[in-house]
Structure 1
């Protein structure tokens, strides 16, 4: 079967090469996708059936592994993940072929560009990242799989993240086609915007799932560590936001097409850059793959070819806009442009913090790390300024208007946001500002919507009728912006009110954090097929009413095949807070226990879902 998989990859590469020379009505994209899909299915089958004659299975699996982690082990390594990357690329090739109308002048060029990108990555997978290489000798079992990757979060996070990353390959191809065909900006923006929205939505979900995995699995009670690989996923996400808002201007006024095209090219290039950095061993991260400089070199060549070619097309085919439009400073047009510049500035803050240590290391040999203080000082204030302009912008008309009527009309929102100040003045200034601004944005959104449907100012039936007439675009904007406000509010509350305590506990001992008491009830040894664990049963009690809320059961595991220890956290969830518990080794018949009080974590996840849903609704 490995030989068949390699043959299918060869077929996919030949068909990708042949596409520009044959009529697109032959539907070659479907055959390309089918070939790579079948190749991936064969690799999954080899993992499920414990075919240890293949290096990829031997180094990343074991017969005792649960089925779910045998499957997720397929993309838990650089060869398998590259095949998944190629599969998603060909999926978008197929979707472009069936979704874009045959009469659309951009289709032939866009699908051709996408086919050539697929050709590059199929050849790279086949020649330099082949997951079907056979073992040079017979083995009876595999070496296992990294314990921290044996989690449901890592089973679903990479595929969704790749769907987000590589959705921007479709927008990249449409951008090249728009340049070559000299398509008018407003027409091009209408075609490309749905692809940008679906890609950005999936990228949002992928990043959120990665944060959820880190929160549950890494045992430190956090969801974002400013890790270099985390930053790599955040960079195209930020440029994607700028692109989504800029496309509104291009679609409505037929200006700034070149700027939008450039952002489109950059977004996909950042995805390939992330692939290069993660798989080359340049980055030191829990998320990164093993060090392989030659592997990274070939990816760098591929990145240079694709990005360089795109920039050459942009330079030679970009057309100066003949439309001149001026807007007053307090207009939606101007506010969107200001926020776009802020998003790009935030991108450069992360870009510099991520790549500067790498460049310094290779140029001078000096090792430095850029951590949370850097991002707190530079990145966080930019986010708050963006939120302020978001509040202002959604109440500005495209043609412009004065801010004074806005402050007068929405004084309730300003007063409501300011009313929470006495309750949070003991917090750090940045946290105070984050809470006030995010609450203010939420109240502004709700008050503006209530005014739009004349809530409490007319009959309920009339308000319902007006609500039905509100456009999907407005609902999309409202949900997405509310999601951003909830996300920032959740993060600020989590950081501002979190507590943590640790101690060695014997049976009956307890740790108190905030208004909750965690009491050790039992400790037992658990033996599973692929690991042994010390498992604690800890009750969570609310001290305000002395009610037992439930039990958590954290584990301290030892994976037999991998020879590695791993912490499995256990979390008591409620709407307003999490009680996050981990345990460690025994010491004098006591067990090391750490308990975190993490407020508003549910608000963070709800905010992320709202952002993605708003974007998906806008796509409709």
Structure 2
């Protein structure tokens, strides 16, 4: 009965979404405030019904109701409760319901917290969001219904073993909050184009929503990278997999959108570019959804392979992307350009940043879609575009951005002094150059470009806090005054510093692990040792055990450093009978920022031999620590209320003027 309640709640959510998509639009046309206000109530109502529906599906997983097809296909009675609950979105149908839930959540947030927005703009935003809600809810109900019944079964087929991990509880919700969060910026862009009014007020309201989505997407990509790193057992942190690229694409354009919206907010410039980025970012999110669920590509991250579902999403992609771009083309000529600025200025630096990010996104997009296009044109011939292509194109494109990044925060608006800024960054330049020389002298053998990357990372990290250091006047050594100034700095200054510092930290981790990682492998019997980068690993034992829903072979190794025992390691191989699927459970030992990574390629309990793969990964954790700094910087910026308060006051004055007119 609870399952039927969830199904019915989703149908009601579809009905309310259709009301939200149509009635307020009529109210906007007639300037009828009562009809426009319906959008607020329907957005909240839709969210409550979708939340009820999602809760009912989660209940079915919690009690192992195997009369539900979705639960039977993706759960098992012996699984830990955490994996039962996370299994709710560990499949195509449940994950799409989660997508709809987050879509409804953002719409409800606008309906509840957006009362300071101009009334017409808020109504149009919720209308656009209502159409997206209606179409995706219809997609779930008609092609991906998670509430379908079947004949009751004693046991389920179990969840994909790779997904039976704490990462499933964290990564998809974070990623979807980022993916779907950009739907609000898309709705703002389309709503503003419908109304024909885009100004600094609009940018001030869009930016917090874009920043929220960007923070979640950054955290989601980072968590997904680390999850794949330790779960798949292949030893890498990024594979340039098409589905990985699908999450990177909206992150790149979303980062450009944040910077472009800042220029529009401060100088009322780049209006056309900002609106276009808002449309493209969510369009890339939709493209990623299509790639993951259409079956057009093969990936360990793919959810579905049903072509009919892919066709439905492709139609949605064409309607929303094509319709918004057509509206943009119609309205673009009516948008005023706004304030002018010199090439050497903060605006110019942000434009340069946007160009690099968008070019990089285009490169990744071409590399991702080219094999699909080649197969379609040649009638079935396959070609792969892998890491060498992306490393040779994406990396060099980002280098100019890393060089220019510290300059941007120090340049003045409208017209900047490049020579003066260079002088203020001299300390960062000297430190970066010194680090480059030391790395070249002492970190050999290795790629000759690695010291350049290390020096560039130091330049970024020191340069990120150059503005902070100069504003609080640390050179005067009056710490009480400096502390007071630091507390009084705008939060946006701190947020920029931490985010850019995080970019430098991540770059350092990428360069170090890529250039100086070492690897060894061997077939080992009891008592054998394997040496790597100053560590020795001794094979001690191999044990087989039965768990609730899998069988496991666990090896025991002792790790030595300079002849002393420092840790015991227990990598394992698992086999899940319900899925007839093996998995590799890596053992990772962290030493400060570096890691020793152990996996079993083979394990034989009869001969008591194992095949061990061993990696030493210097400074690899900096990759994810850097993303934490980026997220922290974004969160600091979100706590800055000045822009939103100012936008609220200005929007009310603007509405009053329009009403008088």
The two structures have a TM-score, normalised by structure 2, of 0.90
Q: Equivalent residue for 1:13?
A: 14
Match of 1:125 in 2: 140
Q: Tell me if 1:246 matches 2:260.
A: yes
> What per-residue deviation string (whole Å, max 9, x for no partner) do you get for residues 586-610 of structure 1?
3542211111101112211110111
- 1:580 corresponding residue in structure 2: 597
In structure 2, distance between residues paired with 1:241 and 1:102: 26
* Equivalent in the alignment of 1:158: 172
Aligned residues of 1:280 and 1:297 also touching (Cα < 8 A): yes
CA shift, 1:145, in A, is: 1.5
Question: What is residue 451 of structure 1 aligned with on the other side?
Answer: 470
Alpha-carbon distance in structure 2 between the residues aligned to 1:322 and 1:173:
21
Q: 1:103 to 1:339 in 2, by over 3 A?
A: closer
CA shift for structure 1 position 548: 2.6
How much has 1:319 moved relative to structure 2?
Answer: 4.8
CA offset at residue 468 of structure 1?
Answer: 1.3
Alpha-carbon offset, residue 47 of structure 1: 1.2
Q: Which shifted more, 424-433 or 240-249? A: 424-433
CA distance in 1, matches of 2:395, 2:412: 28
- Per-residue deviation at 1:23? 4.8
In 2, Cα distance between the equivalents of 1:273 and 1:570?
35
CA contact (8 A) 1:182 1:319 kept: no
In structure 2, do the counterparts of structure 1 residues 551 and 5 end up closer, same or farther at CA, with 3 Å as the change threshold?
same
Q: Give me the whole-angstrom Cα distance separating, in 2, the residues matched to 1:561 and 1:607.
A: 39
Q: What does 1:14-29 correspond to in 2, within 5 Å?
A: 14-19=15-20, 20-21=22-23, 22-24=35-37, 27-29=41-43
Corresponding residue number in structure 1 for 2:583 = 566
Matches of 1:316 and 1:326 in 2, distance apart?
A: 24
> Is the Cα–Cα contact under 8 Å of residues 500 and 594 in structure 1 kept in the other structure?
yes
Please report how far the alpha carbon of residue 143 of structure 1 lies from its aligned counterpart in structure 2 after TM superposition: 1.1
Instruction: Say if 1:86 and 1:574 are closer, same or farther in 2 by CA, change over 3 A.
Output: same
- Matched residue, 2:381: 366
1:115-514 alignment to 2 at 5 Å?
115-135=130-150, 137-323=151-337, 325-364=339-378, 365-425=380-440, 426=444, 427-514=446-533
Residue 356 of structure 1 deviates from its aligned partner by: 0.6
Shift of the 366–468 alpha-carbon distance from structure 1 to 2, 3 Å rule, reads same
C-alpha distance in 2 between matches for 1:70 and 1:447: 49
CA–CA distance in structure 2, aligned partners of residues 396 and 370 of structure 1: 39
1:594 aligns to what? 613
Mapped pair 1:551 → 2:568: yes
Q: Distance in 1 between matches of 2:180 and 2:580?
A: 36
Is 1:532 the counterpart of 2:545? The answer is: no
Q: Distance in 2 between matches of 1:395 and 1:298?
A: 48
Please state whether the residue corresponding to 1:318 is helix, strand or coil.
helix
Deviation digits for residues 87-118 of structure 1 (CA, Å, limit 9, x no counterpart): 11111111110111156231111111111110
Tell me how many residue pairs correspond in the alignment: 617
Q: Is the 8 A contact 1:280 1:290 kept in 2?
A: yes
Aligned 8 A contact 2:271 2:336 in 1 = no
The residue aligned with 2:652 is: none
1:84 aligns to what SS in structure 2? helix
Contact 2:125 2:190 in 1 (8 A): yes
Partner SS for 2:598: strand
What 5-or-longer segments of structure 1 have no aligned partner? none
CA distance, structure 2, for counterparts of residue 400 and residue 442 of structure 1: 25
The alpha-carbon deviation at position 320 of structure 1 amounts to 3.8
**1:404 shift after superposition:** 3.0
Aligned residue for 1:255, secondary structure, equals: coil
Say if 1:64 and 1:530, in contact at 8 Å, map to a contact too.
Answer: yes
Q: Distance in 2 between matches of 1:200 and 1:409?
A: 30
- Measure, in 1, the Cα distance between the counterparts of 2:159 and 2:36: 45
Question: RMSD over aligned Cα, in angstroms?
Answer: 1.7
Instruction: Compute the displacement of 1:410 (Å).
Output: 3.0
After superposition, what is the alpha-carbon deviation per residue over 1:220-242, rounded to whole angstroms, capped at 9, x for unaligned?
11110000000000000000011
Query: CA deviation digits over 1:344-364, x for unaligned, max 9?
Result: 100011000000101111221
Distance (Å, rounded) in 2 between the aligned partners of 1:267 and 1:54: 36
SS in 2 for 1:394: helix
CA contact (8 A) 1:520 1:539 kept: yes
